[in-house]
């Protein structure tokens, strides 16, 4: 292990790290938005939208992110639509993540007992108030473990961005290995930077899950 080589590589990895973080969290934000919208469309059985939402979920959950990125980056230009690599990465991650988030939110909404809704209506709440103050908060608390798990999954999926020439962490590692053959040092830094990116999410997610569990169940 050559620590001088590691020191010289750190600025390159740092730049790649912030690019990966930027695309990753923007994609996660898009995934959460899409997931909520799709889950609502399916839960409330909105005509036409529910069918489209179901097709979307099945399509994106059953195709790899790499395939989706290739379609966005290499396929769309064939019909005259050119999207920058960073936008492709964000969009691909958001669309993939949205399909998983939708299932998490839909499961949370479906887990609320009918008696909760009936009790809220019996107390005089309107259907909108019942959903806003009773159903949605409880469904969200039930969805937290799945949301955190999907966030970690999506951040790890950023490792395929190198396929569309994005200088992310994986691209940087492969590029340095190919140029200088310092495989051990390059892979060591790759692991370290992924741990720096993912460990805080895992730890904070566990803390949030415990707080939600205590608030919801009192234990």
In whole angstroms, what is the distance from residue 150 CA to residue 131 CA? 25
What distance in Å separates the CA atoms of residue 204 and residue 148, rounded to the nearest whole number? 9
Q: Once rounded to an integer, what is the mean pLDDT over residues 148-156?
A: 91
What local confidence, expressed as pLDDT, does residue 100 receive? 93
Q: Which of 87, 68, 83 is nearest to 19 (CA)?
A: 87
Taking the C-alpha atoms of residue 186 and residue 42, their distance in angstroms, rounded to an integer, is: 45
Q: Which residue has the higher pLDDT, 21 or 131?
A: 21
Looking at the 3D structure of the chain, how many domains does it have?
A: 1
Q: Report the predicted TM-score, pTM, of the whole model to 2 decimal places.
A: 0.87
What is the pLDDT, as a whole number, of residue 214? 64
CATH number at residue 123: 1.10.3720.10
pLDDT averaged over every residue in the chain: 86
As a whole number, mean pLDDT of residues 98-113 equals 86
Beta-carbon contacts of 70 under 8 Å, excluding residues fewer than 6 positions away, are: 163, 164
pLDDT band at 216 (very low <50, low <70, confident <90, very high): low
Q: How confident is the model at residue 4 (pLDDT cuts 50, 70, 90)?
A: confident
Range of the domain at 43: 3-217
- Which segments of the chain does DSSP mark as H helices, in order? 3-43, 49-61, 65-70, 85-110, 114-122, 127-130, 136-157, 169-180, 183-217
Percent of the chain whose pLDDT exceeds 70: 97
Using the predicted structure, report yes or no on whether residue 213 has a pLDDT greater than 80. no
Mean pLDDT of 135-162: 86
Going from the C-alpha of 13 to that of each of 64, 84, 167, 187, 189, the distances in angstroms are 26, 22, 9, 11, 8
Place 215 in a pLDDT band, splitting at 50, 70 and 90: low
Q: Tell me: the pLDDT tens digits for 64-105?
A: 998 999 999 898 888 888 889 899 999 999 999 999 999 998
Q: pLDDT class for 8, splitting at 50, 70, 90?
A: confident
The model's pLDDT over 158-209, given as tens digits with 9 standing for 90+, comes to 888 888 888 888 888 888 888 878 888 889 999 999 999 999 988 888 888 7
Nearest Cα to 44, choosing from 92, 109, 96? 109
> Using 50, 70 and 90 to split pLDDT, how confident is the model at 218?
low
CB distance 166 to 89 below 8 Å = yes
- Give pLDDT, residue 123: 78
């Amino acid at each position: 292990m050559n620590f001088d080589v590691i020191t010289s590589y750190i600025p390159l990895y740092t730049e790649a790290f912030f690019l990966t973080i930027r695309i990753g969290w923007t994609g996660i934000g898009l995934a959460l938005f899409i997931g909520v919208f799709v889950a609502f469309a399916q839960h409330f059985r909105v005509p036409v939208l529910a069918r489209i939402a179901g097709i979307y979920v099945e399509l994106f959950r059953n195709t790899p992110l790499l395939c989706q990125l290739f379609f966005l980056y290499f396929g769309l230009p064939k019909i005259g639509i050119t999207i920058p690599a960073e936008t492709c990465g964000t969009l691909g991650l958001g669309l993939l993540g949205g399909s998983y988030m939708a299932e998490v939110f839909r499961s949370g909404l479906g887990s609320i007992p009918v008696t909760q809704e009936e009790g809220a209506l019996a107390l005089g709440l309107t259907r909108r108030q019942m959903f806003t103050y009773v159903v949605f908060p409880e469904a969200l608390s039930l969805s937290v473990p799945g949301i955190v798990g999907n966030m970690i999954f999506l951040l790890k999926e950023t490792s395929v961005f190198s396929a569309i020439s994005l200088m992310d962490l994986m691209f940087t590692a492969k590029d340095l290995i190919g140029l200088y053959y310092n495989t051990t040092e390059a892979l060591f830094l790759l692991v370290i930077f992924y741990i720096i990116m993912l460990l805080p999410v895992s730890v904070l997610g566990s803390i949030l899950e415990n707080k939600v569990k205590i608030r919801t169940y009192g234990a």
